[in-house]
Chain A
Amino acid sequence: MAMMVDETISDFDCYASLSTPTTTITTTTTSSSSEDDHGCTWNDWSPVFDWDAFSGGDNFQDLIESMIQGSGNCFHNSEEDSAEIMEEEEEESGDSNNNQSEDINGLKLVHLLMAAAEALTGVNKSRELARVILVRLKELASPNGATNMERLAAHFTDALQALLEGAASGTLHAKHMFSPNYKDEHHQGDVLAAFQLLQDMSPFVKFGHFTANQAILESVTHDRRVHIVDYDIMEGIQWASLMQALVSRKDGPPTPHLRITALSRSGSGRRSFGTVQETGRRLTAFAASIGQPFSFHHCRLDSDEIFKPTNLKLVRGEALIINCMLHLPHFSYRASDSVASFLSGSKTLNPRLVTLVEEELRPIGDEEGFVGRFMDTLHHYSALYDSLEAGFPLQSRARALVERVFLGPRITGSLARIYRARGEEERCSWGEWLSGVGFCESNISFANHCQAKLLLGLFNDGYRVEEIGTNKLVLGWKSRRLLSASIWTTMDIDL
């Protein structure tokens, strides 16, 4: 079953024929994006082509057909394992301006990605074809490419490659796929630099932290002892601003005693900013420096990462807060069993408040399958890349660093998860899960919402914050929702 790969040169006139007034794909959009349609305003993203025809579920044959529509060249597409990859050429070179060719190139990349995804999992699965497409993609896209789309495509290509190999060798369930230890691969200095950059360039980290902290502050105004259980403390930066706020609060009893219990995982290797113990030491020193009574505890999870509430040490009279940051851009994915055990375990402890920050994904119908979710993930990260670019258009190296260190591995993890989950029931968000388990929504206060708006005002004005329901703030870029922060409680306010 030898593969014939002929590189043929063809004109991609089909795109030109479908063109509408062009804007660049990956940068700020001109068309009005409807605020309600938060998920799939493809036209914002790529107005040159009609995306609706391509959102998942299409027959692979048709896809290939349409890709060569109008090219007039020979193109073999067969159920057997021979296929040819079309070659695009500099047909634009003479007449089109840079924008248009950028669009075209971006489109090609997207199509190739979609084709690869389809080849991997679609009706006419073909590993060989997928492999060929990925080879082609690797040639076209590089992680240091000039445009967002190129770099994005490069990372997605790597992710798909990993899936392909994993599927082949059966190592798809290896932990490293889901929570890639980019911290090990990258030099520590890289990771630190990227983290600093990420914080400076985008509001994601601060949004999640500050929203949660404000909710916590409001709920403990009368308490003398506060106990926070943090699912994934990372480097502990969230608590620096909480401590500052606690120290300087004017009402209620003076600075309450703060106790933080951080969960640590045994198997995930050394993290970039040090271990949980180091974080604890750092926080303790910081607390001492600002006069915050503080103690730090460490709760080790077993290798299965299941949380057992009995491992916690609780003190009478303290206000218990559960803090669950998932999916901030520099976090790695945690296994859902672990998260589920944590959240349901905390229910038994009757916490005062649960703060949850997670990424906001568009709910995908089952019929769209892997490809649909793949495209949605592509859209999600494209928006993320765009948001970084819009704020800092000239600092492409800085952005490339952040993308390489954090977002790339996240993409790999994200695809691995949806690949693994294909065919299964679509997983709901953790927020929905919480309300299903019995937590009640707790109102986001005016101050919190106001703070989020002010924070975003410091960054590019493409960011926006929405209040969903009564207990959730969602940070979005243009029309795409990216990160949500919600607060929950076990008490019912009324009766």
Chain B
Amino acid sequence: MFHAKKPSTMNSHDRPMCVQGDSGLVLTTDPKPRLRWTVELHERFVDAVTQLGGPDKATPKTIMRVMGVKGLTLYHLKSHLQKFRLGKQPHKEFNDHSVKDSDRATSLELQRNSASSSGMIGRNMNEMQMEVQRRLHEQLEVQRHLQLRIEAQGKYMQTILEKACQTLGGEENMALPTRTFKGIGNHQGGLIPDISAAFKEFGTPPLTFSSFQDLNICGEHIDLHAQSSMGERSSSFDGFMNLSNTTTDHNLSLGKKRSSPYNTSNGKSPFMWSDDFRLHELGGGGSCLGSNNEDDHQIIQMERSCNPEIDSVSDIYESKPLLQDEKKFDAKLERPSPRRAAQVSSLSAQGGRNSVFG
């Protein structure tokens, strides 16, 4: 595409204002003679650059030497090389969006037919437009990639926590952040209240997308309504949320399917960042979690038993009393946020400890 783009600006055969110098270079006749990068010149340039190993390896000096064109200065080459390098980048990003050849041809025509003096201005405008378009496109790409990367980190973090849970879990019922709040009833040590206290008020922030993936009640996904008011973290986060809802096929492919209860009945891996998280199930889930499995399984109860939506993210962090009164509760059990609570303590309890970790 770079090649396709450049010829429109390097077309010289129709421009009366250019003169052909003795050296074979085409210079313009404006007060300040500027070098015109003709197609042939550019071809030689590209040849030289590829000879030298690509635009990143080539330097203006070496290009000059290889090209061996008289009158070509380092200055010319520096700026042309820079443009070439920049041009290569969006070239790759625009792959999917590249203008069709026919369209390209028409735009060339237009360029050619425009008045010569405005042609230069036109070219600059065109470049500017391209620049803006490129930037916007890049920004979208960045946003998408960022989300994926955060997810990847979260996934990795979980492997750490899983491992730790296995090694540290043992006989102690460790309360660890993401997966479950294991029963604390048996613990003697002093550390648990600390962490649990920390998490009781904390909950899952909306920022680690991966944590969302864990939320799973009775085999259901959890829904995050993008419309929820986010407080100050509004715009870009909403953007992300919407983005996530539309780019749900970014399923990080896991080598092995984890047989944990986090896989839902429809077989989607927990990393599907998708619309079908349903929170309202939590209501039912809460009650199914709660009443039957009190002391034995030490389930952490859900606060919002019947609230179908997470009204606002900020609600999560409110230190409201987190438990419904009707749920009996082991005194030692610390109360996590609804998000944490929504994690499959009950399932894990039912399935035995090992199943939680696949």
Interface residues of A (CB under 8 A from B): 187-190, 192-193, 196-197, 199-201, 206, 209-210, 213, 222, 235-237, 240-241, 243-245, 248, 250-252, 273-274, 278, 282, 285-286, 288-291, 392, 394-398, 400-401, 446-447, 450-451, 454-455, 457-461, 493-495
- Taken together as a complex, chains A and B put the C-alpha atoms of A244 and B138 apart, in Å, by 19
Q: How far is the CB of A494 from chain B (nearest CB, A)?
A: 7
The residues of B that contact A201 with a CB separation of less than 8 Å are 205
> Within the complex, which residue of B54, B146, B202, B240 is in contact with A451, where a contact is CB–CB below 8 Å?
B146
- Listed by A's residue number, 9 A-B pairs whose Cβ atoms lie within 8 Å are A222-B56, A237-B153, A240-B152, A240-B155, A285-B159, A288-B255, A395-B202, A397-B194, A400-B198
Is the Cβ of B233 less than 8 Å from the Cβ of A244? no
**Interface of A: prevailing SS:** helix
A278 to chain B, nearest CB (A): 8
In the complex, A196→B208 CA distance in Å?
10
**By the criterion CB–CB under 8 Å, are B233 and A459 in contact?**
yes
Task: Determine the distance from Cα of A189 to Cα of B197 in the docked complex, in whole angstroms.
Answer: 13
- B318 contacts chain A at the CB level, 8 A cutoff: yes
**Smallest beta-carbon distance B58→chain A, Å:** 11
The residue from B74, B152, B189, B240 contacting A244, defined by CB atoms under 8 A apart: B152
**Are the C-beta atoms of B198 and A401 separated by less than 8 Å?**
yes
In the complex, which of the residues A201, A235, A494 has the most CB atoms of chain B within 10 Å of its own CB atom? A494
**Cβ of B265: which chain A residues have Cβ within 8 Å of it?**
none
Shortest distance from the beta carbon of B83 to any chain A beta carbon, whole Å: 14
CA distance A244 to B148 in the complex (A): 8
Given A193-B199, A392-B202, A450-B138 in contact, is the A494-B157 Cβ separation under 8 Å? no
Report if B285 contacts A (CB, 8 A): no
Which of B12-20, B43-51, B168-176, B341-349 lies on the face that meets chain A? Answer: B168-176
Decide if B286 is an interface residue (CB 8 Å cutoff).
no
Task: Give the docked Cα–Cα distance between A190 and B318 (Å).
Answer: 23
Residues from chain A with a CB closer than 8 A to the CB of B168 are: 188-189
Sample of 20 more A-B contacts, CB < 8 Å, known A241-B152, A290-B152 = A189-B164, A189-B195, A199-B208, A200-B204, A200-B207, A213-B149, A222-B56, A241-B149, A250-B92, A273-B160, A274-B163, A286-B155, A394-B317, A397-B201, A401-B198, A446-B135, A450-B138, A451-B145, A454-B146, A457-B233
By a CB distance below 8 angstroms, the chain A residues around B207 are 200, 458-459
Chain A's closest residue to B134 (CB) is A446
B binding-site residues for A, Cβ under 8 Å: 54, 56, 59-61, 74, 78, 92, 95, 135, 138-139, 141-143, 145-146, 148-153, 155-157, 159-161, 163-164, 168, 174-178, 189, 191-192, 194-195, 197-202, 204-205, 207-208, 211, 232-233, 235-237, 240, 252-256, 317-319
Task: Write the nearest CB–CB distance from B27 to chain A, whole angstroms.
Answer: 24
A190 near B195 with CB under 8 A, answer: yes
Q: Nearest chain B CB to A350's CB is how many angstroms away?
A: 14
Question: Are the CB atoms of A392 and B156 closer together than 8 Å?
Answer: no
Q: How far is the CA of A495 from the CA of B189 in the complex (A)?
A: 64
User: Contact at A245–B256, with CB atoms within 8 Å?
Assistant: no
Q: A222-B54, A282-B159 are in contact. Are A401 and B252 (CB under 8 A)?
A: no
Q: Pick the most buried of A189, A197, A394: most chain B CB atoms within 10 A of its CB.
A: A189
For the complex, what is the distance from the CA of A288 to the CA of B254, rounded to whole Å?
8
CA gap between A196 and B161 in the complex, in Å: 9
Q: Does A206 lie within 8 Å of B202, measured CB to CB?
A: no
Q: A193-B195, A447-B142 are in contact. Are A398 and B201 (CB under 8 A)?
A: yes
Contact of A188 with B142 in the complex, beta carbons under 8 Å:
no
Q: Are B153 and A235 in contact (CB-based, < 8 A)?
A: no
Cα(A331)–Cα(B197), bound, Å: 24
Task: Choose one: B60, B163, B202; the contact of A398 (CB below 8 Å).
Answer: B202
Contact indicator B237/A458 (Cβ below 8 Å):
yes
Residue numbers in B under 8 Å from A460 (CB-CB): 232-233
Closest 8 A-B residue pairs measured CB to CB? A240-B156, A457-B236, A244-B152, A241-B149, A289-B255, A251-B92, A398-B198, A398-B202
A188 to B176, CA, bound (A): 10
Given contacts A200-B211, A288-B255, contact A454 B159 (CB under 8 A): no
Report B-chain residues with C-beta under 8 Å of the C-beta of A461: 232-233
Q: Is the CB of B150 within 8 A of A192?
A: no
Which single member of B74, B163, B176, B319 contacts A394 (CB below 8 Å)?
A: B319
Q: Assess the B198–A395 pair: CB atoms within 8 A.
A: yes
Report the minimal beta-carbon distance from B229 to chain A, rounded to whole angstroms.
Answer: 16
Instruction: Write the nearest CB–CB distance from B284 to chain A, whole angstroms.
Output: 28
**Bound form: Cα–Cα A285–B258 in Å:** 13
Q: Pick the residue among B157, B235, B237, B255 that contacts A199 (CB under 8 A).
A: B157
- Tell me whether A395 and B201 are in contact (CB under 8 A): yes
- CB proximity of A329 to chain B, nearest CB, Å: 16
Q: Is the pair A188, B138 in contact by a Cβ cutoff of 8 Å? A: no
Given the complex, which residues of A lie within 8 Å of B174, measured CB to CB? 189
Residue of B nearest to A455 (CB): B146
By a CB distance below 8 angstroms, the chain B residues around A193 are: 176-177, 195, 198-199
Give the chain A neighbours of B135 by CB distance below 8 A.
446
Contact of A192 (CB < 8 Å), options: B156, B176, B194, B255:
B176
Please report the C-alpha to C-alpha distance between residue A290 and residue B145 in the assembled complex, in whole angstroms: 16
CB distance from A300 to the nearest CB of B (A): 22
Q: Which among B163, B174, B202, B211 has the highest number of chain A CB atoms within 10 Å?
A: B202
Q: How far is the CB of B79 from chain A (nearest CB, A)?
A: 11
Of chain A, the residue at the smallest CB distance from B235 is A457
| Interchain CB contact under 8 A, B149 and A245 | yes
Q: List the B side residues contacting A455 at CB < 8 Å.
A: 146
In the complex formed, the residue of A with least CB distance to B193 is: A397
B199 CB contacts on chain A under 8 angstroms: 193, 398
Rounded to whole Å, the gap between the CB of A258 and the closest CB of chain B is 14
A451 to B14, CA, bound (A): 44
CA distance A41 to B167 in the complex (A): 47
Contact A189 B175 (CB under 8 A): yes
Name the residue among B160, B237, B317 with the largest chain A CB count within 10 angstroms.
B160
Q: Which residues of B contact A235 (CB under 8 A)?
A: 160
B159 CB to nearest chain A CB (Å): 6
Pick the contact of B252: A188, A196, A237, A290 (CB < 8 A): A290
Q: Which residues of B are found within 8 Å of A291, using beta-carbon distances?
A: 253, 255
- Cβ contact within 8 Å between B236 and A237: no
Given A251-B92, A273-B160; A450-B149 close (CB under 8 Å): no
In the bound complex, residues from chain B placing their C-beta under 8 Å from that of A222 are: 54, 56
